[in-house]
Chains A and B, each alone.
Chain A
Amino acid sequence: MRTLAVVASVVALVLTLFVPAVARADAVADIAARGELRWGGDLQGGAPYVFEDESGSGKIRGFEVEIADALASRLGVRARFVQNDWSNLVPALERGDFDLALNGLEDTPDRRSRILLGIPYFVYGETLAVRKGSKVRSLDELGGKRVATLNQTVAHDLLKVRPVTVVLYEGQQEPYFDLAQGRVDAVLLDHVIADLYGCPLKTVQCLPDDVARGVYVAGIRKDQPELKRAVDRHLSAMIADGALKAILGRYKLWDARQDELALRSAPALPAPSASSAVNVAPPEASVSDTKDLGAEPRPFDTAQAMLFLEGAGVTLFISVASFAIALPFGLFLALARIFGGTTARVLAVSYIEVFRGTPVLLQLYILYFGLAPVVRLGPFEAAILGLGLNYAAYEAEVHRGALLALPSGQGDAARSLGLSRLQALRHVLLPQSFRNALPALTNDFVALLKDSSLVSVITVVELTKRMTIAAVDLRDWVLPGLACAGLYFAMSFPLSRLSLCLERRLSHDSHPRLA
């Protein structure tokens, strides 16, 4: 129990680091004094938002880069870009990592209640993309189908209240890739993303009418209303004097939708339209039932707890299944390396070095996205196989070490009794080496349990992903974080106890003694 308490307090301490930030006296004065406007975005979002110059000079470009530069110069300072993971832009803003979040942030009731939002600088349409030849023409025809989008988007909010299976991605290219591969039936995302990554694909068809419209806005900390006023003033001026039109025009983003910008820049901002009616929703339309769209922070209720348990179940399932691959395959590699001929040895060593020497994240990407044209694996299969193949390389070395630690005479003795090589392994060497390997194997399984959170990049919602989703819904990192940590601990701790028991049961020699 004491261990638990210590772990809980450490976790709580770490989590407080994520909790919102210190108040500032006057943000605009601060920025002026500092001489720079720090703004946050994610380069992974890519063109046309924020992306690195092709020249490789490290310079960044994008329409939001230019908007930030213009805002900064109108504030009389320089703009400084701060790279931040897109899904964590809002928490990072709250932490004070930058003054402005400016990266395709949509005006949602959720964000509105959490941070201050500037006036819109871009109007987008939600574009529904389907596979060529599909008969689907609207969201309503997608009942029971798998629809892909990004997490924390208006599109996600639109889909959540419909009878569809929502598949969440981290990057904007992957949903279209999977649409083409047939892993999902439709993709709902902003037209900017759709036009760039989806519609050009040969097997993808974008429906002409916007499913809904929304706007991109700058995010500002709640305690900095004076910064919001300054940003709004300068943006209004940029809309009025054509500076914004010039920027958007350079990126071929200026279209009829942007006519709404002037209307929407009125002081009282409407929430984005969430109407499923096709074509232009009137700008005044607001969402009546904001609860469904996550405007109010949700409590950590039984439903959330069930989702967490489900996430833990997914984590445990993936970990056990991939270890069930890693253990025997690793043993096979170890045996090939120790007892195999030259070819087998070279192959085993190469496999081990390659899989151990490259990131498992990369391996998952390659397995799921890279190999998709050849082998089309589902997310779960890819997750289990990817982790299994990676951990096999580690387990191979564990098995090898444990086998080499046995006195060579054990093998001789078995052979002298007439046992075949296989029989000697099966009855004499492996039972002993397995016992030697057990602590390291348990160690690796606990590591795997936590590494399994990586599979969220291939759309599997496991425990950690569930936690980040809940943290956004609940506007709280502490409770979901503790629940998540508690569940991981609840899975790994009994396991280490079990392994210790097993170790004792298999123990045949006394412990090594000193003195």
Chain B
Amino acid sequence: MIRIRGLHKRFGERVVLDGVDAEAEEGSIVSIVGASGSGKSTLLRCLNGLIPFDRGTIEIAGFRLESGGTTPARELTRLRAAVGMVFQDLHLFPHLTVLENVTLAPRVVRGTPVRDAERDGRALLELVGLGDRASARPSELSGGQRQRVAIARALAQGASVLLLDEPTSALDPKLRKEVAMLLRDLAGGIGGDNEREKLTLVVVTHDHGLATDLGGVTWTFHAGRIVRPASDGTTTA
């Protein structure tokens, strides 16, 4: 469940978010589309608590973020465990193996014993189809494989919301389809594993084809606002 109310954010003189209101159900897939510089990526960073905002509130994965960056650090750490983020450039850690990339946060942030973290990490890598590349370095992987590592890393702390920034911009059409399928699978109960919490996906893209492949709802951004309510009425503008 995501609920955004009256979100404003400016960088200096430039207004980037100008009153964003939106809601998304648990387990839904939201595609955010819009021109470059319309505020899509900024919204994503606000949702993860990476940057503070000036006005409004965000409710996400059971947490509530207030304006002005007043959220305590401890709360932010828990929020970030619950809200995974996949960057456009992925930013995998090049000095770590694939498995270490995935297990770093559970070990360091949550203090999960190495053995347990690695067991969970391997399971996640299986899930995204990389079970056999655990000890490879990111530099040894293809673009599509790296994308999957980034997704696994973002989910490693048991996230219930996954934010993705332009996940397919560097991929060819075939790989794009694969990633779209993977994301749909994840949203629908993670690999058919019904015991897992349902995953909410928020995907920023300017690739309308991906938005179509993913299904779900679409928020269209223009000049810092969501301009077209989705057909099922989950957004209000």
Contact = CB atoms under 8 A, between A and B. Distances in A.
B153 A417 contact: yes
B92 to A, nearest CB: 8
Given A418-B78, A420-B77, A510-B139, A409 B89 contact: yes
B91 A432 contact: no
A contact residues, range: 20 to 34
Interface string A468-488: 000000000000000000000
Contact of B50 (A412, A431, A506, A508): A412
Contacts of B108: 419, 423, 427
Nearest to A413: B91
A384 B114 CA distance: 40
Most buried by A among B78, B109, B154: B109
A126 B137 CA distance: 73
B94 interface: yes
B186 interface: no
A410 B104 contact: no
B221 interface: no
A419 B90 CA distance: 17
B87 A432 contact: no
Contact of B109 (A417, A428, A431, A508): A417
Interface in B135-178: 137, 139, 153-154, 157
Given A423-B109, A427-B108, A416 B85 contact: yes
Contact of B95 (A409, A412, A416, A506): A506
B105 A419 contact: yes
B112 to A, nearest CB: 12
Interface SS, A side: helix
Given A432-B95, A509-B139, A417 B157 contact: yes
A230 to B, nearest CB: 75
Contact of A418 (B91, B94, B157): B157
Interface string B88-132: 011111110000000011001100000000000000000000000
Contacts of A508: 94-95, 137, 139
Contacts of A512: none
Contact of A431 (B79, B95, B154): B95
B38 interface: no
Interface of A: 407, 409-410, 412-420, 423, 427-428, 431-432, 435, 506, 508-510
Given A417-B153, A427-B108, A508-B137, 16 more contacts: A409-B89, A410-B93, A412-B50, A413-B87, A413-B93, A415-B50, A417-B80, A417-B81, A418-B79, A418-B80, A418-B105, A418-B109, A419-B104, A431-B95, A432-B95, A435-B95
